[in-house]
Amino acid sequence: MSSRGRDKERQLDKVVQSRDESPVREQLVKALDEEGVTSAIYFDNSEKHLEEVGESCKNILLVHVNESKDVPGIDIDESPALRELVYELGPNRYIQTLRQKHRRIALKYDDPESARVRVRYDVLSGINENQLEQLSYWLRHSRSIPGQKAVIFDWDRTLTKTEGIPDVEKQLLKEQDAGQNVTAELRTLREDMLKFVCGGVERLQALRHSFSVINSYGAKIIVLTNNGGCGKKRQFEEWVKQLFYPIPIRIVCSRPFQGDKGKTLGADRSFKMICVSH
């Protein structure tokens, strides 16, 4: 090949390389990301929070998730629904550790009543199958481009079926702080906890399937919660991340806004296109 021919080939190489780097695509993705969310769907069991978001934001489809009016602590060995769930789960590290914790308290205070394990579990609550179908319909048919769609989930009694989660990680975290590798034990304990608080293996799998569908559409996932552990308790973030793993999510806490989820979204840069800031 002549030297002129080789020069031409090198030039062509450059053109092809610059096409491969797709600067236009990168710029576009960056620009769209800066523009933020242009449409969203939001699931919450609290009508109050749905109203708050409805008042501050437009183009967010509000979905009211079932709940019971009150959520008293119920004994996992007395409530028929919980007995069934515990039986269905079989050997479960989370429930075992929870029982041990209560037995220790009962012994320490010589109070047999404390050995009973009570959780604020709401049988009626949590996103159900119809709502997950509604979500997949929304993903297919809402008009925003995928990267500008967001799916927002409340945590307690929306993703989970409990109000708060009794924490049994103290011992393992102590060992971790002392330099021991307890990663595998923590993962098992948290997985067993998720099976319980999400109402069983079947519902947990259905949720995770939906998360992968959302992710395959390129929509963003946000957990918007007023849970007291959000931003404060170090495990809270780990629990949420493990539910969604390996799908990336963002956790947004509404506590700094007195629990007002509309104001919370209004103050979030990603929602500047559709929510007003107060």
In the range 32-61, which residues lie near Mg ion by CB under 5 A? 45
CB 174 within 8 Å of CB 219: no
Query: Which residues of the chain form beta strands (DSSP E)?
Result: 39-44, 60-64, 74-75, 118-119, 149-153, 220-225, 250-253
CB closer to Mg ion out of 44 and 148: 44
Closest residue by Cα to residue 151 from 242, 270, 6: 270
Q: Tokens representing 2?
A: 């002549």
Smallest separation, CB 158 to Mg ion (Å)? 5
CB closer to Mg ion out of 54 and 146: 54
Smallest separation, CB 123 to Mg ion (Å)? 15
Smallest separation, CB 235 to Mg ion (Å)? 18
Within 178-260, residue ranges assigned H as helices are 183-197, 201-216, 234-244
Smallest separation, CB 220 to Mg ion (Å)? 20
Single-letter amino acid code for the residue at 210: S
Smallest separation, CB 88 to Mg ion (Å)? 24
Number of residues near Mg ion (by CB under 5 A): 4
| Interface map 127-156 toward Mg ion (x if CB under 5 A) | ---------------------------x-x
Smallest separation, CB 202 to Mg ion (Å)? 21
Quick check: 122 binds Mg ion (CB under 5 A)?
no
CB closer to Mg ion out of 101 and 203: 203
Q: Cα torsion at 171, 176, 182, 183 (round to 10°)?
A: 120
CB closer to Mg ion out of 154 and 169: 154
Given candidates 101, 157, 195, 220, which one binds Mg ion under the rule CB under 5 A? 157
Computed on alpha carbons and rounded to an integer, the radius of gyration of the chain in Å comes to 24
CB closer to Mg ion out of 146 and 231: 231
Tell me the CA distances in angstroms from 133 to 64, 80, 138, one per residue in order.
14, 29, 9
CB closer to Mg ion out of 45 and 92: 45
Counting beta carbons within 10 angstroms of the beta carbon of residue 254, is it exposed (0 to 12), middle (13 to 18) or buried (19 or more)?
A: buried
Q: Tokens representing 19?
A: 């096409």
| Interface map 170-199 toward Mg ion (x if CB under 5 A) | ------------------------------
CB 38 within 8 Å of CB 59: yes
DSSP code per residue over 30-45: HHHHHH--SEEEEEES
Smallest separation, CB 222 to Mg ion (Å)? 14
Nearest position to Mg ion, beta carbon:
156
| Interface residue list for Mg ion (CB under 5 A) | 45, 154, 156-157
